[in-house]
Amino acid sequence: MSDIVREGDYVILYHSPNLRFLTKVEKGRRLDTIKGSIILDYVIGLEYGSKVKTSLGYEFVVTKPRIEDVMFELYKRPTQVIYPKDAAYIILKTGIGPGSIVIEAGVGSGFMTTFLAYYVRPNGKVYGYEKRPEFLEIAKKNLEKTGLLNWVELKLRDVVEQGFDLPDNYVDAVVLDLGYPWEMLSEIYRVLKHGGSAAVYLPSILQVYKMLDRLKQFNKFIDIEVVEILLRNWKIIPEELRPETWMIAHTGFIIFMRKPWNFRNF
């Protein structure tokens, strides 16, 4: 709590709810705002919670960023990501938590990876697979900014073609957000611990059909579920209390499955 800002830290410089900046503290850098500039050199060595003044005399609080602040900064328009409503339910339902060993494929820009890394701390691990090098690079940068890269091992690999380079019965959970998850059933089964869970995220319903059809043939997973989650926001003005006019009606379908505890097939 009496933490000191060090060079290289990401901090939030906070003036008001609508004027806050996530920035990396580096020598020789300056942050320019509509309320004036802040020389970042002066921030180094301050206690978190301290105030700094801009060139125009406005006060900003030096704040330690939290996961939600960083996510908010990094993914202002979170298209093509697993939405928080879905990410939250995937994590809870698969039992991913502190100490979990998790596979994620594909990583994309690292949005889901960030959540996973956040929850497996301090003694778990996320293996993040992605076949497109440019996305892996973006994900790496995003994870760095969140300070969560330590808990992630990013791997450039086409897992649909090549599988996971991990031992049998090794991971607690697998999260898949890629194109042909039904090609990976035996590989998911192999790598999961007994009792471990997988979650597969699929935008279109025909993909869900294909997945269910292959799961039925494969016939080894238990506790199969298909869900979709709808989040409805309400207006917050008391006298006008009603749901917002528009909502996101579809992000993706989630399929859950589990490797049973016993060791033979049945």
Residues 169-198 that bind its own copies (CB under 8 A): 194-195, 197
Q: Is 201 in the site for its own copies (CB under 8 A)?
A: no
- For 248, what's the count of Cα atoms within 13 Å in the CB-facing half-sphere? 14
DSSP character for 4? B
Contact segment (CB under 8 A) with its own copies among 11-19, 37-45, 102-110, 153-161 equals: 11-19
Query: Which residue in the set 39, 61, 138, 166 belongs to the binding site for its own copies (CB under 8 A)?
Result: 61
Closer residue to its own copies (CB): 134 or 262: 262
Query: Which residue in the set 4, 56, 156, 224 belongs to the binding site for its own copies (CB under 8 A)?
Result: 224
Contact segment (CB under 8 A) with its own copies among 32-40, 105-113, 183-191, 226-234 equals: 226-234
Query: Which residue in the set 8, 49, 80, 156 belongs to the binding site for its own copies (CB under 8 A)?
Result: 49
Which residues on neighbouring strands pair with residue 16, listed in sequence order?
19
Instruction: Specify the residue for token string 């339902």.
Output: 93
Q: Is 10 in the site for its own copies (CB under 8 A)?
A: no
Q: Is 3 in the site for its own copies (CB under 8 A)?
A: no
Which residues on neighbouring strands pair with residue 249, listed in sequence order?
none
Q: What is the spatial distance between Cα 72 and Cα 66, in angstroms, rounded to a whole number?
A: 10
> Beta 10-16 vs 19-24: how paired, if at all?
antiparallel
Residue type, 91: I
Query: Which residue in the set 10, 111, 115, 182 belongs to the binding site for its own copies (CB under 8 A)?
Result: 115
Closer residue to its own copies (CB): 11 or 160: 11
Full DSSP string of 31-51: EEETTEEEEGGGGTTPBTT-E
Q: What is the spatial distance between Cα 173 and Cα 100, in angstroms, rounded to a whole number?
A: 8
The site for its own copies, by CB under 8 A, has a size of: 81
Taking the complex as a whole, the smallest distance from the CB of residue 28 to its own copies amounts, in Å, to: 26
Contact segment (CB under 8 A) with its own copies among 25-33, 131-139, 180-188, 215-223 equals: 215-223
Taking the complex as a whole, the smallest distance from the CB of residue 214 to its own copies amounts, in Å, to: 9
Query: Which residue in the set 34, 57, 237, 265 belongs to the binding site for its own copies (CB under 8 A)?
Result: 237
Taking the complex as a whole, the smallest distance from the CB of residue 157 to its own copies amounts, in Å, to: 25
Q: What is the spatial distance between Cα 266 and Cα 263, in angstroms, rounded to a whole number?
A: 9
Q: What is the spatial distance between Cα 190 and Cα 184, in angstroms, rounded to a whole number?
A: 10
| Other residues' Cβ atoms within 10 Å of the Cβ of residue 238 | 6
Residue 205 CA: distances (Å) to CA of 35, 209, 211, 227 = 49, 6, 10, 11
